[in-house]
Amino acid sequence: MQVCLTCGKDIPALVRFCSWCGSAVPQTTSTGLLSPQSLLHKGRYLILKQIGKGGMAAVYRASDLHLRQRTVAIKEMSQQGLSGQELQKAIDAFIREAELLARLKHQHLPHIYEQFEDRGRRYLVMEFIEGETLEDRLEKLHQRGDHLPLAHTLNITHQLCVVLDYLHTQQPPVIFRDLKPANIMLNKQQQIYLIDFGIARLFKPGQSKDTTALGSPGYAPPEQYRQATSPRSDIYSLGATLHQMLTGTDPSQHPFYFQPFSINQPALERLVQHMVALDAKQRPASMQIVKQSLENIIQPRKPQQPISIPKPQKPPIASSTRIANGVQIQKKKPQAQQASGKVVSVSGQPTTPSAPSMSVTVHTVIAASTADRHLWISIREQLHKLVAGFPEIRFTESNLPAALRGADVVLLLLSNDFLASSSCMAAATAALKQHDIQQTRVLSIVLRPCAWEQSDLDRIKTIPEDSVTHLSIYAQEQRILEAAKEIRKLVAIASLRGKTSGAMNLLQWLLCQLYGEGRKLCPYFKANSGRYALQHLRSAGLAGIILHLIDLQQERIVNEYLIGPLNNSADMHHLLAVLAPSSTDPEEVQGTASRRYPSNVTR
């Protein structure tokens, strides 16, 4: 209800004229007034209920009627008390938030679908996160006189470090500026999401002032009130949030004061006090440093011991390991000897190669150096985590040139020891010839600094820019991940055997879309059942794609899926349930890939 400004009578909200005196009623600028079953954006979105409201916006849970299985969150911009230039600034900020989120792709940030205007208001449609805010979680614990368990606190903080480090390493860096429990969502799997980017800004070095001083009392650092922020401002807010999780003390009650505490974790206690230092220069220099410090607290590093690589024992029965939808499937085969060299599975155990249609052989050439082998094991372990859903991958290892025959991918693991080894260089020469004649995929990985540019190896793609080994453990881990991702890409392309269209299974088509030129060469996949087809719509996230499911009988798009590099995602399971209800493996779904849109379907 509202009050008529002419006669003072109570009248319903959102009416244009007073039912008592007939006077025109000024349109309210209040937000959060959409009732359940309201429709937005030409009837596409059905409002289910309001799930949050603050001074800046209201958030609703809604159903996308065009894609009936998708639940979304819709954020409505508040216009309360705004007019003229103030309203335009608020609209600009809202649009800026949408554009900022749309280009940021991270597992701890909600996916943005679209923004629109309806009846004079701005709306933002985003991924719906099922769960609760950290603020709600802490409040429930506070009412019971309890605190968040230390393990949960460290897990949440580590995830926040990861996403904030991602934001801070953008070009230019993105400063969140309003990190607090109310802006942190927790889903059922305890994964965090940062929400409400309304005051995030791009940090420009040398810019001493922000446009406005924004933030939440108790969580905002002193410099934010002077309209100046940097990545260290987010470190302060994270420290304030961490202090609250550990102690149960709400920092908004006593801004800028964080009482020393004791939880029998001296390193963690020192880190928190370091993060909430009033002088920004006394805080950790970067979120990477905070993350590394936290990891050292979670899992203290043991003193380095000499690295010993035991020789694998050859069992009477070897198993070939295939990773399918996150589950290891082992197929027993008779043991066989390989004259060309050792054969190991993704897990590093001896195995006997088989020849399924999509299996890939990766051959490594490596020097007999303990340091080189240790780095290669780290890369292979990281690769093992990245190939869920992939066809069988077999690793062979030998410096004999003849051993390279039949390999789909050859890895040259470079170091000074590699360059000084005549057998390694002979194998490298053979790999270059196979690359030129048979188009074998060859990749050089610089494990340790060496003068590889002075040899013929400069004709081959080489990663990383300098070397995998690095004084910074964080930097070395990132380079190991980079190498594993590049190998994964080569394995995916090799498994296609040059197929870019025609008959193939769903796994082949997905690999082509994710790692090949699938959107250009074969963006459509029609299942052999004849009922459904898929369209690669666009890329999404760091390495994902958006697919549309087309019902060929109804001649319309019926659903949308976000498929990432790991095929054990919820959307992958939902997609398989439609295309092949009796299957949990995309390799079992047969179909045809094509460049053309399926016939008789309205686009």
The model's confidence at residue 8, banded by pLDDT at 50, 70 and 90, is low
Say which CATH number the domain at 43 has: 3.30.200.20
Q: What is the pLDDT of residues 573-602, one digit of tens each?
A: 888 889 988 877 888 899 999 988 776 544
Q: How confident is the model at residue 444 (pLDDT cuts 50, 70, 90)?
A: very high
- What dihedral do alpha carbons 10, 13, 17, 18 form, nearest 10°? -10
pLDDT at 305: 43
Q: Could you give the CA distance from residue 45 to residue 67 in angstroms, rounded to a whole number?
A: 10
Question: Is pLDDT above 90 for 217?
Answer: no
Q: 139 and 123 share a domain? A: no
328/450 same-domain check: yes
- The pLDDT value given to residue 562: 82
Separation CA 52–CA 32 (nearest Å): 9
Looking at residue 168, which CATH number applies to its domain?
1.10.510.10
Strand, coil or helix: 192: strand
- Same domain for 448 and 488, yes or no, is yes
Q: Are residues 144 and 110 in the same domain?
A: no
The model's confidence at residue 322, banded by pLDDT at 50, 70 and 90, is very low
Q: Please check whether residues 120 and 160 belong to one and the same domain.
A: no
Query: In the structure encoding, which two tokens stand for residue 94, read together?
Result: 């809202």
Enclosing domain of residue 170: 131-298
Q: What local confidence, expressed as pLDDT, does residue 362 receive?
A: 93
Say if residue 345 is in the same domain as residue 490: yes
Percent of the chain with pLDDT over 70: 78
Banded model confidence at residue 539, pLDDT cuts 50, 70, 90: confident
Assigned token pair, 441: 């995929």
Tell me what pLDDT residue 10 has.
66
Most confident stretch, 250-254, 348-352, 494-498: 250-254
- Residue where a domain stops, chosen among 434, 463, 495: 495
Per-residue pLDDT averaged across 494-508, rounded? Answer: 85
13 inside domain: no
> CA 603 to CA 591: how far, in whole Å?
21
Residue pLDDT, tens place only, 237-286? 999 999 999 999 999 888 888 988 988 899 999 999 999 999 999 999 99
Contact between 126 and 101 (Cβ < 8 Å): yes
pLDDT at 427 over 90: yes
CA separation for the pair 594, 591 (Å, rounded):
10
Q: pTM of the full predicted structure?
A: 0.48
Instruction: Give the DSSP letter string of 57-124.
Output: EEEEEEEESSSTT-EEEEEEE--TT--HHHHHHHHHHHHHHHHHHHH---TTSPPEEEEEEETTEEEE
Read off the pLDDT of each residue in 56-84 and give the average, rounded to a whole number.
Answer: 79
Q: Which one is predicted more confidently, 153 or 496?
A: 153
Of the residues 474, 495, 516, which one is the last residue of a structural domain? 495
Q: What percent of the chain has pLDDT over 90?
A: 30
Q: Please name which of 459, 462, 461 lies closest in space to residue 449, comparing C-alpha atoms.
A: 462
The helix (run of H) or strand (run of E) holding residue 507 is helix 506-515
Over range 83-112, report the average pLDDT: 77
C-alpha Rg value of the chain to the nearest Å: 29
- The pLDDT value given to residue 255: 87
332: pLDDT strictly greater than 70 = no
Which residue type is seen at 338? Q
Q: What is the pLDDT of residue 238?
A: 97
Q: How far is CA 580 from CA 510, 513, 585, in A?
A: 15, 20, 9
DSSP 3-state assignment of 338?
coil
Q: Is the peptide bond before 312 cis (omega within 30 degrees of 0)?
A: no
Nearest to 79 by CA among 16, 121, 117: 121
User: Does 236 score more than 80 pLDDT?
Assistant: yes
pLDDT of 319: 33
Q: Looking at the structure, do residues 110 and 223 belong to the same domain, yes or no?
A: no
One DSSP character per residue, 268-307 reads HHHHHHHHT-SSGGGS-S-HHHHHHHHHHHHSPPPPP---
- d(CA 345, CA 318) in angstroms, rounded, equals 10
Residue from 342, 340, 334, 339 nearest 313 by CA? 342
Distance CA 28, CA 9 (A): 16
Q: How far apart are CA 489 and CA 495, in angstroms?
A: 10
User: CA nearest 217: which of 166, 180, 162?
Assistant: 180
| Residue 294 sits in the same domain as residue 151 | yes
Residue 275: phi and psi, rounded to 5, are -70, -30
140, 253: one domain: yes
Same domain membership, residue 511 and residue 449: no
Could you give the CA distance from residue 60 to residue 47 in angstroms, rounded to a whole number? 7
Is there a domain that residue 426 lies in? yes
CATH code, domain carrying 474: 3.40.50.360
Rounded Cα gap, residues 298 and 152, in angstroms: 11
Last residue of a domain, one of 127, 154, 175: 127
**What's the distance, CA 84 to chain centroid?**
39
Which whole number is the average pLDDT over 34-59? 86
Please measure the distance between the N-terminal and C-terminal CA atoms of the chain and give it in whole angstroms: 44
Are residue 348 and residue 283 in the same domain, yes or no? Answer: no
On average, the pLDDT of the chain sits at: 79
Q: Report the amino acid identity of residue 473.
A: I
**Largest CA-CA distance found in the chain, in angstroms, rounded:** 99
Determine, yes or no, domain membership for 26. Answer: no
Mean pLDDT over 434-458 rounds to 86
**Residue 273: what pLDDT?**
94
Strand partners, 462: 444
Residue that the structure tokens 């899992």 belong to: 299
| Other CB atoms within 10 A of residue 185 CB | 21
pLDDT at 190: 86
**Lowest-pLDDT range of 24-28, 159-163, 305-309, 360-364:** 305-309
Tell me if 179 is assigned to some domain: yes
Question: How many domains is the chain partitioned into structurally?
Answer: 4
Supply the pLDDT for residue 346. 44
Torsion angle, CA of 515/516/521/522, rounded to 10 degrees? -40
What pLDDT was estimated at residue 14? 55
d(C-alpha 338, C-alpha 320), whole Å? 14
